[in-house]
Structures are given as C-alpha cells and as structure tokens.
Structure 1
Amino acid sequence: MPADQEHAAGRTPRPTSAVEVRRSARRRRTVSAYREGDRTVVLIPARMSEAEEERWVAVMLDKLKAQEKRRRPGDAELAARAARLSEQYLGGRARPASVRWVTNQNTRWGSCTPSEGSIRLSHRLQGMPEYVIDYVLVHELAHLLEPGHGPAFWRLMEAYPRTERARGYLEGVVAGESLPYVPPARDEDREQEPALPGGESSD
C-alpha cells in the first residue's frame, strides 16, 4: 500500500459539530485535520483514548480556525481584490463604491445594489477556496453592469474561467447542509490522506 494511504480502523462521527474523527491503525503519533466541504475531518491514531481524542479534536479545530483567519481578507483587502478582478475579467468597467463582508446573508452568497454600487459577501464564504470567493465577487461585479441573470450577464461571466467549478463547489455545500445525517459504515476501507492546508507539512 502506498505510503500516503492509511488503513482506516474506524470513524467517530460528530454530526452536531460537523466534525468526523477517523481512527487509523497505520497512524502512530501524528494527528492532522482538513476541511471536507462543510465538514472537518480529524485523523488520529486508532489506539488514542476518548479523552485524548477530545483534546486533539479541540486543538486541531483551533489550529484550522487560526490558519483560516490568517487567510481571510478584511473589507479593504476585499475591495482591492474586487478592483483587480474587475480589471482582469470585466475590463475595469465594474467599479463598486463599497465591498464588504456581512453576517446577515445566510441564504445568499453575495448581493449587490447597482444604484449604490455596493457589494456584500456572506461571511459563510470565509475560509472557502480563493477561486470560489473570486467567483462570487465577479458575479456581483457583473451585476453592477447587468442587474439580471439574462444572456448578457452570463456572457460577462464567461470571462471568469472557474465559473462552473465554483458553482459546483457552492452547490455541493448547499446540498451537504440539507442532507440528513447518516452514520458512516464501519467497514474497513482505504483512504487517501489529504494534506492539512497550511498545517503539518450571490445569489
């Protein structure tokens, strides 16, 4: 078996906190964690006690949050990013008066008010891949030029090369949030262990 694969000895689901703990017989001392859609996966040695598991889950969640916080742009950085994206994909024609994060948009990823030139992004996007945030920004910038979702709007969006990929990612997040929790089977399987990002190694 390749070195980057593990024999999963079991999984401990935590649906209330969207955390899944996966125990591995191959893992001896290391603990790692990564985001998988809207779920956090923590990989631990199979022999770890329940108390150690709880402690390490808390440690890894704090570590991930700290890493993601460092990657989250503030409002000023978001505005600069929007300006750069407008130049790159919309010929600089979309010039928002303000771009900011908001916490009151739980059913939309972003919104804009063309008459005011204001763009708002949901805080739920924070921590998502950069190309997804860029997609939502370009989407709202395009609305400053074309308020509706007609053919002219989607012609503007064709300039952004990761539109379909980003839409698929966001649709997956929405689908994951609406699915009922089903405990995973405990049958033995083999998994690729993704690297911990930055860690151990609208509509």
Structure 2
Amino acid sequence: MLANEILGSEKPREKLQNYGIESLSTSELVAIIIETGTKNESVLTIANRIIMKFKHVAEMQYASLEELQLINGIGLAKASKIMAAVELGKRISLVTEREEIVIRCPDDAVKLVMPELAFLFQEHFHCIFLNTKNQVIYRQTIFVGGLNASIVHPREVFRLALRKSAASLMCFHNHPSGDPSPSSEDLLVTKRLVEAGNIIGITLLDHIIIGKNKYISLKEKGYF
C-alpha cells in the first residue's frame, strides 16, 4: 500500500500522532475540533461541509455562532468549538505580529490581564515578569483562592522570577466582588513582596487589583 493511501485511511487523530499536525488537511483539522459526527454522517463529512461553506478558510473568522449552526450537523457545541479555535488563532497571530509586549504604565499591563481576571469567581494571583527593557518575558497565575500572606508567599513568586531571569515583575489579583479597593491583607502581601524583591534585587513595579471593568494600582495610590 502506498504511503498516501495509508494516510488517507487513517483517522485525523491517528494521522496527527503518526505524522504530525502539518500532515493534516484543513478538513481534518476542523474534524479534530468538532470531534464527532452524527448518527448518519462521519465527522470528516461534516468538516468538509464546513470548509465548503466558505470561499476561503480565512473567511471562517467572520462567521457568527448563528451562521455556523445553519450548517447541517453543527449545533451550538460544535459551533462554539470552531469559534473558540478561530479566536485563539487570531490572538496568537496578534501576539506573534508584535516584536515584544512592552509595559510602560499600569494601563498597558491591565489591558493584558483584565480580560482573564475581571470576571472570575475566585481570587487569582497573577504575575507578569519583565526584562530590563520592561518587555514581558513570562506570565503565570501562581495562586488561586483567598488572598492572604500565608498563601501568597514571596518565595514562590521570586523563585519563578529568578528562573525566568526577570529584572522586575508586576502582580495582579482580582476581587470577585467587583470592588478593587485594597484590603489590609492585600497591603500586607504587597509589603512582603516589596521587601523580598529589594533583598533579591528584583523590583516589584506594581500590585494591581482588578475589579469589574476597573482597577486600582497600589503603586499609583502611594501604598508603596
């Protein structure tokens, strides 16, 4: 049997595993995203129908949830998966097009984290690590849960900062209540992070509390 016949007979996931993501056709990529077919049609048949709906695959980025659901075999769940995959691709492309993300002021940083933190139902403590040019080199959520000094330990924050060779960092956490006003625990955590950073030589540039579509910079407010 010829190699291309072998490829053609394999399911998309098997083909990906055996030959890599680059070996998959556009229809096979869509088939992996939507995962399943229907009682009467295979997943590849439905994936092909989706591709044929558009003159070019790039036009998929403009499709609405309702438009995708008009395709036979596509319900809300599959349409949502397609839109999520397209949006993720757009966001990756947007970041790739930039040489570096540079943080010049609190607002620059907030624009980066607000979409993720503003509407969470639990407190998340998130850090952005910067180089000497204030370019973002790494970011990560380090703690999830109620913010207090016993949980948010400087050791964990600065261990990661050292591992990433960061020159400075900015910390963020959200208030699920929507009110970004700092609590006494917020200020205590900030004080400990500033002190630890001064000892290690990695500057805490800011600690920003995210509320619902608003934020408070503890640095701007003069808390440290």
User: How high is the TM-score relative to the length of structure 2?
Assistant: 0.23
Q: Which has the higher helix share?
A: 2
RCO higher in structure (CA 8 A, sep ≥6): 1
User: How high is the TM-score relative to the length of structure 1?
Assistant: 0.24
Q: Which has the higher strand share?
A: 1
